[in-house]
Copies of this chain bind each other. A is one copy, B any other.
Amino acid sequence: MDICLASAADLDLAAQLLHDFNTEYNEPTPQPAVLAQRLREVPDTDVLLAGEVGVAVLRFRASLWSSDLECYLAELYVQPAHRGKGIGRALLQATLDHARSKGAGYLDLGTSEDDVAARHLYESLGMRRTEGNGGPLMFVYEIDLG
C-alpha cells in the first residue's frame, strides 16, 4: 500500500475518511465537503493517505525549547475492512518519517485506554506513554470551553 502526502486534490478523499472515522466512533462530524475545505484552510497541517483507505493528520508547531518543530498527530484512521494488514503501521511509520523530514524533533498524540490495537501499534514503533522508561503514565486532560 503506497503512503503519500496528500495534495490539495486529495483532500476530498481525506475528508471522507475523517468523516468515516467520526461516524464509526459516534462523534459529531461536519459533512465531508466542509471538512475538505477546512483541511485546505488550516495552516501548518499535513495529511498522509494510505491508498484510499487510511489517513493521518499531522499538525506542526514551533517548539518552545529549540528551533525544531513539534508534531501533534491529530488523527490516524484505517477503514475497518482494511485493518490487520499492516496499513496502520505503515501509515504511522510514514508519519514519523515525514515529521522528521519536516524538522520535527518530537511527536505526540492522545489515545484512549480501550483502543488496545492502536496502543500496541504506537508502542511497537517506539512510542511511550510514560515519562522516560518506566516512569509515571502521562494523561490527557481536556475541557470544552463552549
Residues of chain A whose beta carbon lies under 8 Å from any beta carbon of chain B: 18, 28-30, 35, 38-39, 41-45, 57, 59, 61-66, 71-72, 74-75, 96, 99-100, 104-115, 119, 122-123, 125-129, 131, 135-146
Contact = CB atoms under 8 A, between A and B. Distances in A.
Nearest to A99: B145
A61 B64 contact: no
Q: How many copies does the complex hold?
A: 2
A124 B111 CA distance: 23
A108 B38 contact: no
Given A35-B64, A74-B64, A142 B113 contact: no
A129 B140 contact: yes
Most chain B CB atoms below 10 A, which of A29, A139, A146? A139
